[in-house]
Structure 1
Amino acid sequence: MPRIDRTDFALLRLLRKHARLPNKTLAEKTGVAPSTALERIRRLHEARVIQGYHAEIEPAAIGIGLQAMVAVRLARHSRTLVDGFLRHLQGLPEVLAFYHLAGADDFLVHVGVRDSHHLRELALTAFTERDEVAHIHTQLIFGFHRNTELPVLVDLNDEA
């Protein structure tokens, strides 16, 4: 992983809050030349520090009326079963995000569905009917907020 200095971090912070900022604005806000900002962002992409951009979508606008977190416990743990379940999750359009965990549950899956009937059907067909799944626990989500701040957990040296 490349070393990140204060300027890189400032660029990352700005992009995290608003990924569509023009390069000229990024350069002005970080106090560097536009060519420097462009080169640094290119380098951060190449190093996979920046892994992509996304648009935050209003769930109701695309028919999502209910969101839930589904905790999944597998019956057995083998690379084949875990990898197969990961592929299964990636293929479900209702899955908005998921986490592979250590602890009592193996996966925490954020789903978006039309309504409670859709959630019930998804729980049955996508989770409980699968042989590798031993147990699920579903919790409804009343609200969601993505934190756009970045914690400073690295030494921000002045040399990149």
Structure 2
Amino acid sequence: MPQSPPPELDAVDRHILRELATQARITNAELATRVGVAASTCLLRVRRLESAGVIGGYRAELSLDAVGLPLQALVAVRISQHARAEIGRFAERLANLPGVLGVFFVSGDNDFSVHVAAATPERLRDFVVENLSASRDVASTQTSLIFEHQRGRAPLV
């Protein structure tokens, strides 16, 4: 099924998106005020952006330290040759493992970069050994600890 082209975004749409990217929990009334349009116009535009897939959802940003997962790592994964036919299913399985924050299908020597959070170095080791190294679908892994993470804050639109 062919994808529909992305909708045309005008200056008002882009302003709405910038505001929501900064504070997704803003009320429609406050959003309308900041953008300079009527509340009804703002609500219609937000709903149109949601139904067109421009806004894919709203999420809470959790403090990993506060939920007991202070250790983060990126695990580079190269899958075995025989597993390449099921690469999509493999990625989905990775994404559903406890502690996985994101799975990136990448170019280069490795196939995936897996962003993982863990409570301790031992739990991280156990995650890699039990879920990756022990899998016959995985040819190799390389784990890099994340010392600090700065989330991008620049507006995309």
TM-score (norm 1): 0.89
- The CA deviation at 1:98 is 1.5
**Runs ≥4 residues deviating over 4 A:** none
How many residue pairs are counted as aligned between the two chains? 151
CA contact (8 A) 2:75 2:116 kept: yes
Residue 37 (structure 1) aligned with residue 42 (structure 2): yes
Q: Secondary structure at the match of 2:65?
A: helix
Residue 9 (structure 1) aligned with residue 7 (structure 2): no
- The CA deviation at 1:136 is 0.8
1:128-153, CA deviations, whole angstroms, 9 ceiling, x for partnerless residues?
A: 1111111111111111222232234x
CA contact (8 A) 2:99 2:117 kept: yes
TM-score (norm 2): 0.91
Residue of structure 1 in register with 2:105 after alignment: 100
How far apart in 1 are the matches of 2:94 and 2:150?
A: 23
1:10-52, CA deviations, whole angstroms, 9 ceiling, x for partnerless residues?
A: 1111111110011111111111111111000000000111001
1:96-151, CA deviations, whole angstroms, 9 ceiling, x for partnerless residues?
A: 11111122111111100011000110010111111111111111111122223223
- The CA deviation at 1:78 is 2.8
Q: Greater RCO between the two (CA within 8 Å, min separation 6)? A: 1
CA contact (8 A) 2:72 2:116 kept: yes
Give 5+ residue unaligned stretches, structure 2. 1-5
Residue of structure 2 in register with 1:87 after alignment: 92
How far apart in 2 are the matches of 1:144 and 1:138?
A: 16
Residue of structure 2 in register with 1:51 after alignment: 56
Residue of structure 2 in register with 1:158 after alignment: none
Correspondence for 2:142 among 118, 137, 154: 137
Supply the AA of the counterpart residue of 1:132: D
How far apart in 1 are the matches of 2:46 and 2:8?
A: 14
How far apart in 1 are the matches of 2:41 and 2:150?
A: 32
Q: Secondary structure at the match of 1:37?
A: helix
1:79-100, CA deviations, whole angstroms, 9 ceiling, x for partnerless residues?
A: 32x1231121122111011111
Q: Indicate the percent of aligned positions where both proteins have the same amino acid.
A: 39
Residue of structure 2 in register with 1:156 after alignment: none
Q: Secondary structure at the match of 2:97?
A: coil
Give 5+ residue unaligned stretches, structure 1. 153-160
Correspondence for 2:118 among 113, 116, 120: 113
CA contact (8 A) 2:91 2:103 kept: no
How far apart in 2 are the matches of 1:32 and 1:79?
A: 51
